[in-house]
Structure formats: C-alpha cells, structure tokens
Chains A and B, each alone.
Chain A
C-alpha cells in the first residue's frame, strides 16, 4: 500500500526566501507525481505534474523534481511571496489509478 509523507507539517519563512518542500513515497511503481496547492476551505489547484519517466518540471517560480529510486520528490519555490501562503500537497498515481496524497505542508510566508 502506497504511503506518502510530507515533513514538516508546517513551515514559516520570511518573504523572498527560496524554499524546498519535501515529499516521500514508499512504492516507486508510480505513473506520475503531482503537486497541488490548497487555500483554506477551497479545492485543490494543480501546480505541476511529473510523469514517471521525467526528472523535473518547471512553471514560473516553481520547480518540481522526482527521484523514483529514492522515493522522493521536491517542490522548489523561488523568491517566496506572501501570496504563496497555502497548504501544499503532493500525490502519487499508482497502478489502481488513484491519487494517494500526503497530509500536506502548510506554508506561511511572512512579509
């Protein structure tokens, strides 16, 4: 059974800092890994999707990497802004076509 872990559960950084959010998973037999953002009380916004054959994806200030052999993915946020404050979730898609989510990292960017 796939388990996805995100540590720490919460993170507070000053504005302008570059930061890395970590995601680990136990079963490397995944089709892809997706990073999402969730604002309080809202749905999920897809940030980046990395297929299992890819190593990384970039979108603006965001860069996500995937290392299947070590069961790790990272989301790099450059020059963080207060508007980046949200909960960030990673999720892997396994053979049964379901997304298995981590519990998320709640990020607070201080002005």
Chain B
C-alpha cells in the first residue's frame, strides 16, 4: 500500500500571499489530521477531518483552514501568510477515528515565507 503523500514537498512564498497544501491519505483511511512543526514550538495540532467533516481544531488563527473531499484527500489553506508560518506541515492519516487507531504521517511540506 502506498503511504501518505503530500504535495508540494517544498514551497517558498512571500508575506501576504496564500498557499494550499495537499495530502493524500493511505487508501481506505478516513481520517486526516494536520500538524505544524517548528523548532521552537515542536509539533502542534491544526485540525482533523473525518468523512469530510472537521472534528477538531487546534489553537490556530482563522487564516488556517482545511477541507476533506469524498475520496478522503485533504487540503490545507493558509491565507495572508506571515513570517511565523514558516514550518514543516505534516499530515497524518488513520483508518478510522484517531482515538483507537495508529496515525501514519506523510513526508511533510516545507513552507518558507519570505
């Protein structure tokens, strides 16, 4: 089975722009979660989608949004980029509800905001 894939792998943007990141979960997985990883804050939860519905959201501003499609693929959007948004963005998929299942991570998208 193919693993979790994320595109693009690297992205350079300037302040004020917006960006869309994509995540394709492992085939058959219904849950997709997104995380931001920075050297200072470590890994922080952004949001989780299950069957096209956002189940939970972390403590991030409304500039961060996401969605999940009927094929479980997910996109994350960040509008009005700030320098502090530079980070590795990781998505993880799980067969079902994350409370009872292992999460499998993709390689991440490295976003640099100039």
Contacts and interface: CB of A to CB of B under 8 A. Distances in A.
Interface in A20-48: 31-32, 34, 36, 41-46
Interface in A39-90: 41-46, 49, 51, 89
Interface residues of B, number: 26
Contacts, number: 60
25 contacts: A31-B100, A32-B100, A34-B102, A41-B110, A42-B107, A43-B107, A44-B90, A44-B105, A46-B102, A46-B103, A46-B104, A93-B98, A96-B56, A97-B48, A97-B55, A97-B97, A97-B98, A97-B99, A99-B43, A99-B98, A99-B103, A101-B42, A101-B43, A101-B44, A102-B42
B105 A99 contact: no
A51 B44 CA distance: 21
A27 B31 CA distance: 24
Interface in B1-52: 4, 33, 35, 42-45, 48
Contacts of B90: 43-44
A97 B98 CA distance: 6
A91 B103 CA distance: 11
A91 to B, nearest CB: 8
Contacts of B100: 31-32, 51
Contacts of B107: 42-43
A88 to B, nearest CB: 13
A43 B55 contact: no
B105 A36 contact: yes
Given A43-B108, A98-B48, A34 B56 contact: no
Nearest to A4: B42
Contacts of A51: 100
A31 B99 contact: yes
A32 B100 CA distance: 7
B98 to A, nearest CB: 5
Contact of A46 (B45, B55, B97, B105): B105
